[in-house]
Amino acid sequence: GGYSSGGGRRVKPSKKRKGEGAGSAGEQGGESKGSGEVPWYRSFVKESDALYTTYMEKEWGYPVLNDDRKLFEMLILEGAQAGLTWATVLKKREGYRTLFHNFEISKVADITPDEEKKLVEDARIIRHKGKIAATVLNAKVALTIIEEEGSLSKYLWSFVGGKPKINERKGLSDMSSKSPEAEVMSKALKKRGMKFVGPTICYAFMQACGMVIDAPIGTPQREAILKKIRKDGLE
């Protein structure tokens, strides 16, 4: 979740700039120019939305390494967002955690067809039959990946060479909705049988989990993320 994952990819902005498609937020109204006075993401995150603001400040963009459960959670939530906004997904995140066993992959993979039918009727999550079925299917595929590769983390991070790709974004209008690495990841996951893992979803996932660093130059958020990366020896 975040810019491509919630902010730009599928949020419907009030304005579009010439040449910008669905992958761009299309407006710079709340964009920080490096002063940090106005959060760069304010054009797509309402100031009144504390949940989304906290997510952008404390979670989005920070590398998630060696945590298969968290990576699986983010991959599923990014897919759940398709056609919706990240704000909608965040509001239902706790519902997802409750109903999908806190995203413990083996437990999600064991969800039965009858249980899936019940989940479709539960308003605590996005009631989309295809997305719910894909969550269970993707968990089964994830288990295969873990068995073959040792961990889901190792496999997913391999698409960026095992460490964050640090981009030099000037602001929202300088961001992309996909990348060559996301295209390769999407193709590989689809080949394994996963669903709701298109290249735009994969890039949003990569942004959210710090596989690519897209926080704009000069923003406090970027500095905090880079500091964490240096501390963890991920440069």
Give the SS3 label for residue 165: strand
Rounded CA separation 26/159 (Å) = 28
* Residue type present at position 202: C
Spot the catalytic one: 52, 62, 86, 96: 86
Instruction: Single out the residue of 138, 169, 130 nearest to residue 25, CA to CA.
Output: 169
Spot the catalytic one: 27, 31, 73, 78: 78
Does the annotation mark 40 as catalytic?
Answer: no
Does the annotation mark 62 as catalytic?
Answer: no
Cα 142 to Cα 34, 50, 165, 182, 226, distances in angstroms: 39, 32, 23, 17, 29
Spot the catalytic one: 3, 40, 55, 62: 55
Q: Are 93 and 171 in contact (CB under 8 A)?
A: no
Does the annotation mark 55 as catalytic?
Answer: yes
Please list the active-site residues: 55, 78, 86
